[in-house]
Amino acid sequence: MLRKKLPFLHSLLSPVSRHVGHLTGHQYDVIVVGGGHAGTEAAAAAARVGAETLLITQKIHTIGALSCNPSLGGVGKGQLVKEVDALDGLCGRAGDWAGIHFSILNRRKGPAVWGPRAQLDRQRYRDFIQSELLSTPRLTMVEGSVEELLVTEPNPEEPGHHRVTGIRLANGSHAISARSVVLTTGTFLSGSLFVGQTTSPGGRIGDAPSSAGLSHTLRERLGLRTGRLRTGTPPRIVKDSVDLSLAKLHLPDSHPTPFSFLNTHTHCKPEEQLPCYLTFTTPGVERLFHHFLYCPSIESRVLRFPGRSHQVWLEPEGVTSDLLYPQGLSMTMPPDIQLRLIREIPPMRRAEIHTPGYGVQYDFVCPTQLSPALQVKSTQGLFLAGQINGTTGYEEAAAQGLWAGANAARSALSMPTVTLSRTESYIGVLIDDLVSRGVTEPYRMFTSRAEFRTSLRPDNADLRLTPKGFEEVGCVSSVRYQESLRVRNSLQDALTALQALFLSTSSWKKKLPSVPISETKSTLLTGLDLLQYNDVTFEMLASAFPESLSSFMEFAQRLKIEAVYKPHCDLNKKEIERIQREENMSLPQDIDYFSLPVSLSDEVREILDRVRPSTLGAATRLEGITPAAVVNLLNYVRVTE
């Protein structure tokens, strides 16, 4: 499924995209504002669902730009990429096209928490995303800055409830109508950049912030609560100025594992992958950090754990790039101090900085004001995704973007919105955490956030999500759907065949003499039981029983993982069913918690009134909600259902 080559994008984009006048008065189903990781997935998903979609972004050529680290995936984040791919999103396939160093992190732990990750070539990633969007039917892209959201006055029947009707561009002259709008403005909402004590307006280096008008509409017109967050990026280092012989060479996996379920190999050949290098901070780094402290929230890793040396990964920025990205060294100090600081690290004693590190401070919208479809509860048709919701990271943005875009399209096309539960996906965990708990610092995904991580594995994201994406959401192509059915049926047939191999331990010993089969185990074992042994592979079983198993060799690794996790997943099943029942018990959005005739403390009533959880499951996870309150709510919902 990997393409052979990409079209020459910039020549294709410029004529269609630079003039927006002809769009005035046009009615779109969905307008997506922002062409970052959330916006590109949102626009593509909305169009896949069937909506006439317009993507408006400040600079066409930055669509799909990696603002910070040149990498995708990792522990927790890799799971999100696999899930976005299972729902037919872009980032997994883009990673397979642009990856130049693939590795599975956490390999020493179980496959449930493996973290698929790749270093990326920045230009290739951007090219792939742009090319995909260009070839997406029903999607138009224009360059422009959105200044204002057009919304109706509150409905007197439902005080405080607005409906979005479109957007107005920065020059004030162009208004474009839409039934749904997805805002994905990243770090640009009232963004200000800082280096040392100098601050300047900006959303990212070289880019202006979103106009104040947008923040004004959100806060003043729609009454949304916003907060302010900070993030930072390290300086980019001139590669030739670094003595890499003083750092530890870190090679990629010899067989790169693609992110996408549709790909069997990556664009970069195994032998063409580039290495990374590992080095460490020194006491001199710590001393300088303490001495020139500008932004503790960013320059904090060294400060929070004094006396330790911290890993600094020197990562390539691309195949032809002359730069290295020193992962782990985010800093906002003045450039001369940044130079002194990096030169405290042996391989960088003579290093030159190409672009200094900097920080950005920006507005985010408190995400407890969103529904699980990522729609603003008080404004019909307005969806938010990505950094604007208080998250950080490309993967978190992409996951929300896909879900918000699909729902924005469904809402515009008068179909009910859809939700993902935390029992079925990391995307469900991410959204549930955001809308029910909110954020106090930039939210990023960790595997520890997912209670059912042994079931929500990277290897089975297609089984969990592709059928739902096709049958219920409408964001998955039939090609991918058919492929997922083929895989699901083959895996089921293989598991049945393994279970049908029902032999005594002595027969197994004869068949597999090299495997130490314990006598204390049951005297009769199935092939599936045996596959749970550490030293038994599917290949071994297939060579012992070629007639029943050899046709499933393509799935050898997946079957091994399925077998290993089967006992955990069987245990999880009951708990998941219970939670799903609770999840499905919806709490009416117009409920008056202050007069609810059940025993709830004033504090609990206040929390419920403020957050308005949409399900009982979401209410359970709110901070300050006691188990007793949940039982009382449950009884109330049962009676009224």
Residues at the interface with ligand FAD (CB under 6 A): 33-39, 56-58, 62, 67-69, 145-146, 184-188, 203-204, 207, 210, 214, 231-233, 330, 358, 360, 386-387, 392-394, 397
Of 130 and 425, nearer to ligand FAD (C-beta) is 130
Q: Between the CA atoms of 73, 75, 81 and 87, what dihedral angle is there, to the nearest 10 degrees?
A: 180
Q: Which helix (H) or strand (E) holds 357?
A: none
User: Which alpha helices (H) appear in 320-444, and where do they start and end?
Assistant: 335-342, 394-412, 426-437
Residue 611 CA to residue 551 CA, distance in Å, equals 52
Q: How far is the CB of 61 from ligand FAD (least distance, A)?
A: 10
Q: What share of the chain is helix, strand, coil (3-state, %, to 5)?
A: 45, 20, 35
What minimum distance in Å lies between the beta carbon of 394 and ligand FAD? 5
In this structure, the number of other CB atoms found within 10 A of the CB of residue 427 comes to: 27
Helices (H), strands (E): how many in the chain? 21, 23
Nearer to ligand FAD, 389 or 572 (CB): 389
Nearest distance from residue 333's CB to ligand FAD, in Å?
A: 14
- Between 67 and 454, whose beta carbon lies closer to ligand FAD? 67
Q: Report, in Å, the least distance between residue 482 CB and ligand FAD.
A: 31
Sign of CA dihedral 485, 489, 490, 491: positive
Q: Tell me which residue of 53, 52, 42 sits closest to 90, measured CA to CA.
A: 42
- DSSP string for 90-141: SHHHHHHHHEEEEEEETTTS-GGG-EEEEEE-HHHHHHHHHHHHHT-TTEEE
C-beta closer to ligand FAD: residue 123 or 580: 123
Nearer residue to ligand FAD within complex by CB, 404 or 619: 404
Quickly tell me which residue has 């909110």 as its tokens.
438
State the SS3 of 481-548: HHHHHHHHHHHHHHHHHHHHCEEEHHHHHHHCCCCCCCCCCCCEEEHHHHHCCCCCCHHHHHHHCHHH
Under a CB-based contact definition with an 8 Å cutoff, are residues 106 and 446 in contact?
Answer: no
In whole angstroms, the minimum distance from the beta carbon of 235 to ligand FAD comes to: 12
Nearer to ligand FAD, 214 or 276 (CB): 214
Residue type, 298: I
Could you tell me the smallest distance in angstroms from the CB atom of residue 260 to ligand FAD? Answer: 20
Q: Least distance to ligand FAD from the beta carbon of 332, Å?
A: 9
CA distance 425 to 81: 11
CB closer to ligand FAD out of 96 and 396: 396
Is there a contact between 197 and 358 (Cβ–Cβ < 8 Å)? no
Considering the complex, state which of residue 204 and residue 457 has its C-beta at the smaller distance from ligand FAD: 204
Nearest approach, Cβ of residue 406 and ligand FAD (Å) = 16
CA distances 314 to 154, 242, 275, 283, 320, Å, are: 53, 10, 9, 19, 16
Q: How far is CA 535 from CA 430, 514, 517, in A?
A: 36, 9, 10
What's the closest the beta carbon of residue 561 comes to ligand FAD, in angstroms? 27
How far CA 67 is from CA of 55, 70, 186, in Å, comes to 19, 8, 10
Nearer to ligand FAD, 297 or 580 (CB): 297
Nearer to ligand FAD among residue 37 and residue 457 (C-beta): 37
Q: Which is nearer to ligand FAD, 234 or 527 (CB)?
A: 234
Q: Angle, nearest 10°, between helix axes 77-86 and 461-468?
A: 40
- Counted residue by residue, the chain has a size of 641
Between the CA atoms of 442, 400, 624 and 610, what dihedral angle is there, to the nearest 10 degrees? 110
Q: Give 297 or 490: the residue with its C-beta nearer to ligand FAD.
A: 297
Cβ contacts of 513 within 8 Å, gap of 6 or more: none
Task: Give the pair of three-digit tokens for residue 411.
Answer: 């809402």
Supply the minimum distance, in Å, between the C-beta of residue 84 and ligand FAD.
13
Q: How far is the CB of 606 from ligand FAD (least distance, A)?
A: 31
Write down the least CB distance from residue 629 to ligand FAD, Å.
Answer: 34
Copy the structure tokens of residue 217: 């509409």
Rounded to a whole number of angstroms, the minimum distance from the CB of residue 68 to ligand FAD is 4
Distance CA 86, CA 422 (A): 16
Residue number, 56 or 314, with CB nearest to ligand FAD: 56
In whole angstroms, the minimum distance from the beta carbon of 45 to ligand FAD comes to 13
> Based on CB atoms, which residue is closest to ligand FAD, 188 or 552?
188
